[in-house]
A and B are shown apart, each in its own frame.
Chain A
Amino acid sequence: MNREPKKEQHTHRHDWSVKEVKSLINDETGTLDARIYSNQALYELELKHVFARSWLLLGHETHIPNPGDYLTTYMGEDPVIVVRQKDDSIRVFLNQCRHRGMRLARDDAGNAKAFVCTYHGWAHDIAGNLVDVPYEEQAHCDRLNKTQWSPLQARVATYKGLIFANWDAEAPELIDYLSDSLPYIDAMFDRSEAGTEVIGGIQKWVIPCNWKFAAEQFCSDMYHAGTMSHLSGVIAGLPEEMELSDAEIPTKGNQFRAKWGGHGTGYFVDEPGIMHAIVGPKVTDYFTKGPAAEAASKRLGSDMLGQRMLGQHMTIFPTCSFLPGINTIRTWHPRGPDEVEVWLFVVVPKDAPEEIKAELRNQNIRTFSAGGVFEQDDGENWIEIQKVLKGHMAGKVQLNAQMGLGQSTHENPNYPGRVGDVYSEDAARGFYTHWMRMMTEPSWDTLKPE
């Protein structure tokens, strides 16, 4: 619900030329054309050029620990099944029977010995191979080439527990795709040999806004957290005797833009105010002081990476976002230009004390979930923007993404890569520039990272 009935499509459909799409984003001047968020034709191009060619987050290894364990999710608008194999590998295939297209697995998750289509009984093994067809001799006269008629398989790769998949055989390997953003990902997922494990359950909800608002915010927008959006979220966590004016909202930190791929992250440095407001002092201390934190710094190579990035936000282009230290992870599933489906799960350090795991769970539910005291207000911003964009004039304005223009350098002594101030939009410009390249460069020969 909560949207108007779909209007008739305007009969004049814009056919976007490469030149026109390129003009939507300007990295030098820091401008965005509002049509990237609402145009139906652009969205359809996105499904083809972005979602069918990028590494998309499906879940975590600990969602499917045992052979036959599966979860159903999406790559763009394509439903997929993610299944643990007997040899411990993972297979991802289209949740679609090749007979007449019926969805094979209609539930959220489970453990299967086979996937049998409920329409005509075509049976598939847990690797997604068609293995049995009822009345095969009588109906198909033994002509059926079952390999040819199995569901489409995607490429699968994992990074530190995260499961990604990609439809495009030509796309770079995941590790290359992640470019120079690894240290910032590792700060959350590689703090110890034990790594991370999920808290069970994936929360799902629908926000009537374009997916890019969410993906960009987690990539590049500490500004909203340090200013207006989350004031009441902070208030919700204050001890009774404290006022908002007593809360020490941080102001100092950095933003990183990946040299390739559109990934970005930002974080405060040393100031714990926002971490305290979200996960509380116990979890903040666990990640910043004491033996576990020190061991993480040792493993990651510096305490700047292990203990001193506080309140970090990150997006791996296009739709994998997470908040290290808070440990919420989400995939933003596009559902048309005007809608996104959020699928959220939380990870905890596997070797953390039970008390810390419980606290992470509780604080995440409290702050970053559909009813979270922080997240409620993010949704408010995005839905209003989307409604305003329906206007003829409003829908094609240029938007300002000029924060930190020209300010990032490679000279930060403590943090690798292209780094600028935490209140910047350099990462957003990187996100949209890569988006524009995916939309306009058909061949990986030009697109691939050097």
Chain B
Amino acid sequence: MSFNADTLTRPPVDIKTQQEIEQFYYREAWLLDNIEYEKWLALLDDDLHYFMPLRRNRVKITRNIANMPPEFSNDQEFAHFDDDITNMRGRIRKLQSDYSWSENPASRTRHAISNVMILKNEEPNLYEVSSAFIVYRNRLERQVDIFAGERRDLIRRSDHAYGFKIVKRTILLDQSTILSNNLSIFF
């Protein structure tokens, strides 16, 4: 993923593309908040990589920066999520069963998506997108969890009704210790 202070100096994409992709994200969020898991699954590419690394607390020591343990876990280390489409289909199947106790009753969520920034990829119809999220979750009587973070996606245009498919999503959560009893929702 090529989001950094330098690539962000590229001019924004045209307004039409910006709107199309933002709308896609809002519609994706609506599907999740309305428990339309099957329809959300259909937005995910067969080559899906859905990845949420662990995030660690590090103290910066400028003279020793090269040897600092990285803040985010890599693909050899443990992670919060590291799913391909098969895993994801399994998750949806779990959610659709009557026995998924952690989501039955279902959580009430609100995915607030913003800060949508788009970089065009060399390949036509492929876009790298960064977006910020605040996800409010409320469940059962009084449980409240609030999550915030960034998603860095690779999406491609598709003749799917929603216009795009998510190929790669990397979720950078703004927590080290997860301040919730589980991660039973999607970001």
Contacts and interface: CB of A to CB of B under 8 A. Distances in A.
Contacts of A231: 97, 99
A370 B183 contact: yes
A370 B59 contact: no
Interface in B47-84: 52, 54, 56-59, 67-69, 73-74, 76-83
B180 A238 contact: no
A109 B69 contact: yes
B78 A376 contact: no
Contacts of A206: 177-181
Contacts of B178: 203-206, 370
A119 to B, nearest CB: 14
Interface string A164-191: 0000000000000000000000000000
Contact of A381 (B69, B81, B101): B101
Interface stretch (B16-24, B86-94, B116-124, B158-166): B86-94
Among B82, B103, B181, residue most surrounded by chain A Cβ atoms (within 10 Å): B181
Interface string A227-243: 01101110111101000
Contacts of B145: 1-2
Interface string B148-187: 0000000000000000000000000000111111111000
Given A203-B54, A232-B100, A371 B181 contact: no
Contacts of B91: 236, 373
A365 B53 CA distance: 11
Contacts of B68: 110
B144 interface: yes
Interface string A369-386: 111010111011111100
User: Could you tell me the dominant secondary structure of chain B's interface residues?
Assistant: loop
B146 interface: yes
Contacts of B89: 240
Interface residues of A, number: 56
A409 interface: no
A366 interface: yes
Interface stretch (A18-26, A50-58, A194-202, A263-271): A194-202
B4 interface: no
B180 A236 contact: no
A383 B181 contact: yes
B9 interface: no
Contact of A110 (B69, B77, B78, B79): B69
B182 A371 contact: yes
A106 interface: yes
B73 to A, nearest CB: 4
20 contacts: A108-B176, A110-B59, A110-B69, A200-B77, A201-B56, A201-B73, A205-B181, A205-B183, A231-B97, A231-B99, A235-B97, A238-B90, A370-B80, A370-B182, A371-B81, A375-B182, A376-B102, A376-B183, A379-B102, A380-B102
